[in-house]
C-alpha cells in the first residue's frame, strides 16, 4: 500500500517540476533572467542624508521660578513656530530632491 502511494506521487512531482517552467529553460533563458535581476538591483536609488530640519526635535519650554504662565505659554509658542518652520524647510528640501530625480 505504501509502495502504491509512492508510485502515484512520483508522476505528480515530475508534473509539478515540468509545469514550473524551470526544468525546460535553456541556459540562455536563465542567464537573461539573472541579468534582469542584477540590473534591478543596480538601479536602486541611494537616498541622501536627511537635513537637520527633518530630524530635529522640538525644544522644551520649562517653567522658571516666579515666571507667569502667560510667559511660559509665549515661549512654547515661539518654540513651536520654530519647529514648524524647520518642518516646512524639510518639506521644501524633499520636494526639490524629488523634482531633481524626476528631471533625470
Q: For the chain, what are the domain ranges?
A: 1-44, 52-104
pLDDT attached to residue 79:
92
Whether the predicted pLDDT of 82 surpasses 50? yes
State the cell numbers at 63: 517653567
Whether the predicted pLDDT of 96 surpasses 70? yes
From CA 87, how far away is CA 90, in angstroms rounded?
5
The predicted model scores a pTM of 0.49
Q: Read off the pLDDT of residues 47-58 as tens digits, 9 standing for 90 and up.
A: 777 887 788 888
pLDDT attached to residue 42:
67
58 near 80, Cβ under 8 Å? Answer: yes
Q: Read off the pLDDT of residues 10-21 as tens digits, 9 standing for 90 and up.
A: 555 555 555 455
pLDDT attached to residue 29:
76
Amino acid at each position: 500500500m505504501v509502495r502504491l502511494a509512492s508510485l502515484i506521487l512520483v508522476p505528480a512531482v515530475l508534473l509539478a517540476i515540468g509545469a514550473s517552467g524551470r526544468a525546460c529553460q535553456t541556459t540562455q533563458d536563465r542567464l537573461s533572467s539573472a541579468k534582469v535581476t542584477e540590473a534591478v538591483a543596480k538601479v536602486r536609488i541611494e537616498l541622501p542624508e536627511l537635513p537637520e530640519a527633518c530630524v530635529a526635535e522640538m525644544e522644551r519650554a520649562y517653567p522658571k521660578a516666579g515666571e507667569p504662565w502667560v510667559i511660559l505659554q509665549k515661549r512654547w509658542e515661539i518654540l513651536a513656530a520654530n519647529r514648524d518652520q524647520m518642518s516646512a524647510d524639510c518639506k521644501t528640501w524633499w520636494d526639490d530632491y524629488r523634482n531633481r530625480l524626476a528631471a533625470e
